[in-house]
């Protein structure tokens, strides 16, 4: 069986684990009050990147966090020198995740000089009162300034992240956010429903949070789909919408179950069927890199069953669904040999469609995607 898709080069994720302040809903691996580690972190990161991408051609880079734009210019210069030296595909997609308050002109110019050609800006909401509720440290004006500066410098592939289902958010608020964002004509919009994750400040105070009713939240999701469609944004994944030609190729790597290398504290890699996890702790990460040249603390080899399940869970997130031919090419068997009963059941429930080539979620299936996906566990 050919579980690994060998034809598509490799993607590189780079994690920057620093934030100025922790947002109240955040469970990402990011730390505050660790600015003194930025330089030594960048040095360790550069060593890891060099080693990890040796003899490989990189097709996409995504620098995420944390808050990459919060990293000092000195530390960024180090990363730039490394990135300029590694072997990259000429059509590379190179994204940096940005926060509006730290996306300065200096940083934008530096990104240009190192070949960044896609920005992903975390706006979340167009209402300052809601940004405060989330514990975000920027306001709408800072966002607009950063966005306009990026456009002035000819960044012509920009994503804006927004959220719905927020405490004290009305349907009207969310509609206004969508309309204001659409007016700016970004090339890509990610619209995520808030999830109260364990360990976050929101989780600890969850009883006091004035969250929208479930029906209202569902309505917000529908409004996003309809409004974005009206303005030419094609929904290609449960939470992601793009103008034609602007799908995020890096994230498609994950949904297609292709190989990727992750560098930095808490980063994961998936290479030749093996999953590797780096240490989350910044100090330990730096120490491990300095001693071993890598910071892996866990390794897991996917079983045949893992491959098939992950191919289904991740693939069904894409609106185009799972190609039956690709399933056959990867696993040397027909999708119905494994999932005939499950697929039939969900077609009968109107949660899945088989269009002849692909198996995909219906609109109702997208709403109940977690239930559908859990049925694909073997
Ligand atoms: S900026 Fe992003 S990573 Fe940092 S605390 Fe907020 S949500 Fe988390």
Sheet with 358-361, edge to edge strand ranges: 322-323, 358-361, 352-354
Q: Whose CA is nearest to atom 5 of ligand 1?
A: 22
CATH 3.20.20.70 domain span(s) along the chain: 10-255
Q: Which helix (H) or strand (E) holds 58?
A: strand 58-65
| Rounded Cα gap, residues 357 and 375, in angstroms | 21
The stretches in the chain having pLDDT less than 70 are 1-8
CATH class for the domain made up of 10-255: alpha beta
Report whether 121 contacts 151 (CB < 8 A).
Answer: no
Q: Is the dihedral of CA 30, 35, 37, 41 positive or negative?
A: positive
Measured in Å, residue 125 CA sits from the centre of ligand 1 at: 14
Measured in Å, residue 28 CA sits from the centre of ligand 1 at: 7
pLDDT value at position 6? 54
| Ligand 1 in reach of 120 Cβ (< 6 A) | no
Measured in Å, residue 202 CA sits from the centre of ligand 1 at: 13
| Ligand 1 in reach of 30 Cβ (< 6 A) | yes
pLDDT value at position 76? 98
Residue 45 three-state SS? helix
pLDDT value at position 5? 55
| Rounded Cα gap, residues 165 and 160, in angstroms | 17
| Rounded Cα gap, residues 71 and 97, in angstroms | 12
Distances (CA, A) of 135 to 23, 131, 145, 327: 5, 6, 20, 43
| Ligand 1 in reach of 69 Cβ (< 6 A) | no
Which atom of ligand 1 approaches the CA of 20 most closely? Answer: 4
Q: Indicate the DSSP class of residue 27.
A: -
| Ligand 1 in reach of 335 Cβ (< 6 A) | no
Which atom of ligand 1 approaches the CA of 27 most closely? Answer: 8
pLDDT value at position 21? 98
pLDDT value at position 9? 76
pLDDT value at position 335? 97
| Rounded Cα gap, residues 215 and 196, in angstroms | 17
Q: Give alpha helix (H) positions in the chain.
A: 38-53, 73-85, 105-113, 128-134, 140-152, 171-183, 201-204, 214-230, 249-255, 282-292, 304-317, 324-331, 335-348, 363-367, 369-374
pLDDT value at position 143? 98
Model confidence pTM above 0.75: yes
What is the per-residue pLDDT across 133-181, written as a single tens digit (0 to 9) for each?
A: 999 999 999 999 999 999 999 999 999 999 999 999 999 999 999 999 9
pLDDT value at position 1? 54
pLDDT value at position 306? 96
Q: Whose CA is nearest to atom 8 of ligand 1?
A: 26
pLDDT value at position 2? 53
pLDDT value at position 18? 98
Report whether 134 contacts 177 (CB < 8 A).
Answer: no
Q: Indicate the DSSP class of residue 101.
A: G
């Amino acid at each position: 069986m050919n579980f690994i898709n060998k034809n598509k080069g490799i993607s590189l994720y780079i994690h920057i684990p620093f934030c100025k302040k922790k947002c109240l809903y955040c469970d990402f691996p990011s730390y505050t009050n660790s600015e003194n580690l930025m330089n030594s972190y960048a040095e360790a990161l550069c060593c890891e990147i060099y080693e990890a991408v040796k003899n490989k051609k990189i097709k996409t880079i995504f620098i995420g966090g944390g808050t990459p734009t919060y990293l000092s210019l000195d530390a960024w210069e180090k990363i730039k020198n490394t990135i300029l030296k590694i072997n990259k595909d000429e059509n590379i997609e190179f994204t940096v995740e940005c926060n509006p308050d730290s996306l300065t002109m200096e940083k934008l110019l530096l990104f240009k000089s190192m070949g960044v050609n896609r920005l992903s800006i975390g706006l979340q909401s167009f209402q300052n009162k809601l940004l405060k509720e989330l514990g975000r440290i920027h306001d709408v004006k800072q966002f607009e300034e950063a966005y306009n500066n990026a456009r002035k410098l000819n960044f012509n592939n920009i994503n804006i992240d927004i959220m719905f289902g927020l405490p004290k958010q009305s349907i009207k608020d969310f509609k206004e956010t969508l309309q204001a964002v659409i007016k700016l004509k970004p090339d890509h919009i990610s619209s995520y429903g808030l999830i109260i994750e364990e360990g976050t400040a929101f989780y600890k105070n969850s009883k006091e949070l004035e969250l929208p009713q479930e029906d209202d939240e569902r309505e917000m999701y529908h409004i996003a789909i309809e409004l974005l469609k009206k303005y030419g944004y094609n929904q290609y994944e449960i939470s992601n919408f793009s103008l034609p030609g602007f799908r995020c190729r890096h994230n498609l790597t994950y949904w297609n179950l292709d190989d990727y290398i992750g560098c930095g504290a808490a980063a994961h890699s998936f290479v030749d069927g093996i999953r590797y996890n780096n240490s989350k702790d910044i100090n330990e990460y730096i120490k491990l890199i300095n001693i071993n040249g890598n910071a892996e603390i866990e390794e897991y080899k996917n079983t045949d069953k893992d491959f098939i399940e992950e191919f289904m869970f991740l693939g069904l997130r894409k609106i185009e669904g799972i190609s039956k031919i690709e399933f056959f090419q990867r696993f040397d068997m027909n999708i119905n040999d494994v999932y005939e009963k499950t697929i039939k059941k969900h077609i009968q429930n109107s949660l899945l469609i088989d269009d002849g080539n692909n198996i995909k979620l219906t609109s109702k299936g997208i709403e109940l995607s977690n239930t559908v996906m859990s049925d694909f566990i073997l």
